[in-house]
Amino acid sequence: MALYMYDRDSQGEGESACGADCADGWPPLTVDGEPSKGDGVAAELTTFEREDGATQVAAAGWPLYYFASDEEPAHTRGHGASDVWWLLRPDGSKVE
């Protein structure tokens, strides 16, 4: 599934600006343990603890999220939503 970054997050801060209500529509990418990269992903992956205790993944310092309305891996319906949600390139840079 497509992964997104949120402009209201601060890159490299290790926290999410997308809390409980926001996370209903934009679920965070969380892991148990260490994240692993897919083929071609060059961005450094890190993790941080969310307020709810879950471990969220960040790419190049940007917390990662899914879009709840994306139903298939090819969907990128959240890209550009509200001018604050963006896809990331494999190197962790924002696609606008």
* Beta pairing partners, 28: 65
Please tell me the predicted confidence (pLDDT) of residue 20: 85
In angstroms, rounded to a whole number, what is the distance separating the alpha carbons of residues 96 and 89?
10
Q: How far apart are CA 46 and CA 24, in angstroms?
A: 23
- Cβ–Cβ under 8 Å, residues 94 and 9: no
Asked whether the beta carbons of 6 and 63 are under 8 A apart, the reply is: yes
d(CA 26, CA 82): 13
Q: Which residues contact 64 (CB under 8 A, 6 or more apart)?
A: 3, 4, 5, 28, 29, 56, 57, 58, 88
In this prediction, residue 46 carries a pLDDT of 97
- How confident is the prediction along the chain (96 residues), in pLDDT tens digits per residue? 999 999 999 999 999 999 989 999 999 999 999 999 999 999 999 999 999 999 999 999 999 999 999 999 999 999 999 999 999 999 999 998
